[in-house]
């Protein structure tokens, strides 16, 4: 039995993540592990209102209450799913990164109680998606209203991370009896567009045919090993973020690799995955190539 770790902070966004994790755990016979991490501030509060020990006790009590609420939420969604809870005095990102070492998936809401107005995703979600050891799912909104035809959309660019994302997407599709939409984008500014007086003989259709062939080669083994999964492939000239956000409007989930072909060495979270974690209209799964 594997474990799904969920970060809990008392926010409605976190409870949405708990509900998603409970549904996922019920499909897989997983355990849900609820984690609340807190750090007691050393200054910035009036000493006359509370002493440091009193503040620590209060934060532990509040965290325990939030974990109890999250446990009840799991029970309401999936009564048979086993639940563990952990209350730790530690910075949230480091605590969840450590938890992710033993998790099948680590799940967060898109914005916690510490978020500022207008901040669409919390720093904890970005930090965990950057450094986590398991696939990280950021739950931005509920997908309960979607029908069985709603696909799992996955970005594929030929990179090792996107191949790992494809495997995750097909695995989710099997568990959820959902179709898969695989999206590949390509970009190019041709000289005849930029400088009409000096045309360059480049055929966009030829380039797109090459991209389609590359995508077919990448997706082919998974098509063969999952013959019951309906697969749609989409190849378009455009920006990956904009294209994936468009397909995410009706998706059950967006799945991306943590870093694509254009990533620089040492950059743990690519611009596309970070933008989707921030703006996607559905749950987003970020997959590292080693997962």
Taking Cα atoms as reference points, which of 222, 137, 125, 119 lies closest to residue 173? 222
Look at residues 93, 122, 80, 81 and name the one whose alpha carbon lies nearest to residue 35. 93
pLDDT band at residue 192 using 50, 70 and 90 as cut-offs: very low
DSSP reduced 3-state for 64 = helix
Average pLDDT (180-193) is 74
Name the helix (H) or strand (E) containing 215.
helix 204-225
The pLDDT of residue 251 is 94
202-254 pLDDT tens trace: 677 888 889 999 999 999 999 999 999 999 999 998 888 899 999 999 999 99
What's the pTM value of the predicted model, to 2 decimals?
Answer: 0.86
How many C-beta atoms surround the C-beta of residue 207 within 10 A? 15
Average pLDDT of every residue of the chain: 84
Is the pLDDT at 186 greater than 90? The verdict is: no
pLDDT higher than threshold 70 for residue 35: yes
């Amino acid at each position: 039995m594997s474990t799904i770790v969920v970060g809990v902070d008392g926010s409605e966004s976190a409870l949405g993540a708990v509900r998603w994790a409970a549904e996922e755990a019920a499909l897989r016979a997983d355990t849900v592990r609820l984690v609340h991490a807190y750090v007691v501030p050393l200054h910035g509060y009036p000493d006359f209102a509370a002493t440091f020990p009193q503040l620590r006790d209060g934060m532990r009590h509040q965290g325990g209450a939030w974990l109890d609420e999250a446990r009840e939420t799991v029970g309401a969604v999936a009564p048979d799913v086993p639940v563990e809870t952990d209350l730790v005095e530690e910075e949230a990102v480091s605590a969840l990164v450590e938890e992710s070492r033993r998790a099948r998936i680590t799940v967060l809401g898109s914005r916690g109680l510490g978020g500022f107005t207008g901040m669409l995703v919390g720093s904890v979600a970005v930090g965990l998606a950057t450094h986590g050891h398991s696939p990280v799912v950021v739950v931005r909104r509920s997908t309960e209203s979607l029908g069985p035809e709603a696909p799992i959309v996955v970005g594929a660019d030929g990179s090792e991370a996107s191949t790992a994302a494809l495997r995750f997407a097909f695995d989710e599709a099997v568990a959820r009896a959902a179709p898969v939409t695989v999206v590949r984008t390509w970009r190019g500014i041709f000289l005849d567009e930029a400088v009409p007086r000096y045309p360059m003989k480049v055929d966009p259709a030829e380039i797109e045919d090459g991209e389609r062939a590359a995508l077919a080669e990448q997706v082919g083994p998974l098509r063969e090993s999952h013959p019951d999964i309906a697969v749609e492939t989409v190849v378009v000239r455009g920006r990956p973020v904009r294209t994936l956000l468009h397909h995410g409007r009706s998706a059950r989930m967006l799945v991306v690799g943590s870093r694509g072909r254009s990533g620089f060495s040492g950059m743990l979270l690519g611009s596309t995955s970070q933008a989707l974690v921030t703006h996607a209209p559905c749950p987003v799964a970020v997959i590292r190539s080693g997962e």
